[in-house]
């Protein structure tokens, strides 16, 4: 192509073309996997998914676009039922955009597609090696030959067939432990000092005192984590359970919970408790079905500001589990 000979001068044109091809490739992947959304919506929808309800200007600033762009897209998404808008009671100028429950459910299933796109794109970029121009050239070649699209397809097929694995702590996965937890903490609460300490150095704060950290992986991709903290001899806390948005509903949370309980039992612990919040409805359901029962009073001397739920593990109480798990059956099929 003529522009290749023009070096960096044609970068603008080529970047734009590659950008558009990437949107198109992503859209093909969405369509093929039965997801009805447009790649251009990704920044806004993903922001709302990860960070929770937000105003137009907040989103615009975060994704690097102008507020009219977000405003117009929001109107369209609102018309299609993806998002809702309510007034901000503290500031009448501002509106709060929020994913509809339906959209939230849809997005929670997109993990494998996103992961497939990410892998294919990373592979294409890496093939170029060295410079930006080389990487761009490799991208263009992959797009022109259809290799990018084929790669997305095959990665997605692999991910859909893959099973969730539970793996023990690995120091090189410490950043995943932090990333996954920071994501939901920022969304639902704020990072407290206890969190920062534990997440920043899990080795010394969790592993060395006699606790454990488990990772849920799907085809090598870390998509969830959970920790068992040793509080006192025989007393353990289940904590830092996090599953990546986009991979929810595949059973990772259940597997992590079972894994942590197994770790607790391997240590012959006496007491296993957890602290959580009423706001985290689906998580509480999971804990209940896993054998945790609500404790009437809040835990004395809790280290979390946010904790208004205190649950304790009672091995006998796993009866509800099978019943709760049943309606999830079709999800498991999709997930595996």
Please give the DSSP secondary-structure letter assigned to residue 207.
I
* Residues of this chain, 36-55, that bind DNA according to CB under 7 A: 38, 40, 55
Q: What are the distances in angstroms from CA 2 to CA 151, 203, 301, 322?
A: 27, 54, 69, 63
Residues 3-32 that bind DNA (CB under 7 A): 13, 16-17, 20
* N-terminal to C-terminal alpha carbon distance within the chain: 43
112 touching its own copies, by CB under 8 A: no
- Rounded to an integer, what distance in angstroms lies between the CA atom of residue 216 and that of residue 223? 6
Cα–Cα distances in angstroms (integers) from residue 282 to residues 13, 50, 123, 170, 324, in the given order: 47, 16, 36, 28, 12
Part of the chain binding its own copies (CB under 8 A), chosen from 47-55, 78-86, 195-203, 264-272: 47-55
Among 95, 112, 128, 291, binds its own copies (CB under 8 A): 128
Q: What is the rounded distance in angstroms from the CA atom of residue 179 to the CA atom of residue 200?
A: 10
**Shortest distance, CB of residue 115 to DNA, whole angstroms?**
22
Q: Which is nearer to DNA, 16 or 279 (CB)?
A: 16
Residues counted in the chain: 336
Minimum distance from CB of 247 to DNA (Å)?
25
Residues 295, 272: Cα–Cα separation, whole Å: 12
Q: Could you give the CA distance from residue 146 to residue 84 in angstroms, rounded to a whole number?
A: 37
3 binds, among DNA, its own copies, none (CB under 5 to 8 A by kind): its own copies
Site string for its own copies, 21-40 (x = CB under 8 A): -xx--x------------x-
Name the one range near its own copies by CB under 8 A: 59-67, 73-81, 250-258, 271-279: 59-67
17 contributes a contact to its own copies by CB under 8 A: yes
Q: How, if at all, do strands 83-87 and 95-99 pair?
A: antiparallel
Q: Does 47 bind its own copies (CB under 8 A)?
A: yes
CA gap 126, 115 in Å, rounded? 16
Q: Residue 121 in 3-state DSSP?
A: helix
Residue whose CB is less far from DNA, 71 or 84 = 71
Residue 51 is a binding residue for its own copies (CB under 8 A): yes
> What's the CA gap between 88 and 85, in Å, rounded?
9
Which of 6, 66, 145, 271 binds DNA (CB under 7 A)? It is 66
CB-count burial class (<10 Å; 0-12, 13-18, 19+) for 282: exposed
Could you say which residues in the range 62-101 bind its own copies, by CB under 8 A?
62-65
Instruction: Supply the DSSP string of 169-192, one letter for each residue.
Output: --GGGHHHHHHHHHHHHHHHS---
As given in the structure block, the two tokens for residue 26 are: 């992503």
Q: Which is nearer to its own copies, 10 or 167 (CB)?
A: 10
E strand or H helix that includes residue 127: helix 111-128
Among 11, 22, 35, 57, binds DNA (CB under 7 A): 57
Q: Are 237 and 228 in contact (CB under 8 A)?
A: yes
* 271 makes contact with DNA (CB under 7 A): no
Per-residue binding letters, 301-330, with DNA (x by CB under 7 A): ------------------------------
Tell which one of 33, 35, 46, 267 touches its own copies (CB under 8 A). Answer: 46
Residues near its own copies, by CB under 8 A: 1-3, 6-20, 22-23, 26, 39, 42-43, 46-47, 50-51, 62-65, 114, 117-118, 121-122, 125-126, 128, 131-133, 135-136, 139
Residues near DNA, by CB under 7 A: 13, 16-17, 20, 38, 40, 55-58, 64-69, 71-75, 85, 88, 90-95
């Amino acid at each position: 192509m003529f522009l290749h000979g023009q070096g960096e001068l044609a970068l603008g044109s080529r970047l734009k073309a590659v950008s558009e091809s990437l949107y198109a490739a992503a859209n093909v992947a969405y369509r093929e996997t039965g997801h009805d959304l447009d790649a251009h919506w990704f920044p806004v929808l993903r922001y709302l998914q990860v960070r929770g309800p937000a105003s137009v200007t907040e989103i615009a600033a975060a994704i690097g676009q102008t507020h009219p762009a977000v405003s117009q897209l929001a109107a369209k998404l609102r018309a299609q039922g993806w998002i809702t808008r309510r007034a901000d009671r503290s500031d009448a100028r501002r509106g709060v955009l929020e994913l509809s429950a339906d959209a939230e459910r849809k997005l929670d299933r997109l993990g494998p597609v996103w992961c497939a796109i990410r892998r294919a794109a990373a592979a294409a970029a890496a093939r170029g090696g060295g410079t930006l121009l080389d990487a761009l050239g490799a991208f263009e070649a992959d797009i022109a030959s259809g290799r990018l699209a084929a790669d997305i397809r095959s990665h997605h097929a692999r991910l859909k067939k893959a099973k969730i694995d539970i793996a023990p702590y690995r120091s090189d996965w410490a950043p995943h432990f932090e990333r996954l937890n920071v994501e939901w903490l920022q969304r639902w609460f704020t990072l407290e000092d206890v969190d920062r300490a534990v997440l920043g150095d899990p080795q010394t704060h969790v592993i060395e005192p006699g606790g454990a950290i488990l990772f849920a992986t799907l085809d090598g991709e870390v998509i969830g984590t959970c920790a068992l903290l040793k509080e006192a001899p025989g007393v353990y806390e289940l904590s830092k359970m996090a599953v990546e948005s986009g991979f929810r509903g595949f059973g990772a949370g259940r597997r992590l919970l079972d894994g942590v309980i197994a770790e607790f039992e391997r240590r012959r612990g006496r007491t296993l408790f957890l602290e959580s919040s009423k706001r985290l409805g689906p998580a509480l359901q999971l804990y209940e079905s896993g054998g945790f029962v609500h404790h009437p009073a809040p835990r004395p001397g809790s280290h979390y500001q946010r904790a208004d739920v205190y649950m304790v593990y009672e091995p006998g109480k796993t009866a509800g589990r099978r019943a709760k798990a049943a309606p999830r059956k079709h999800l498991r099929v999709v997930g595996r």
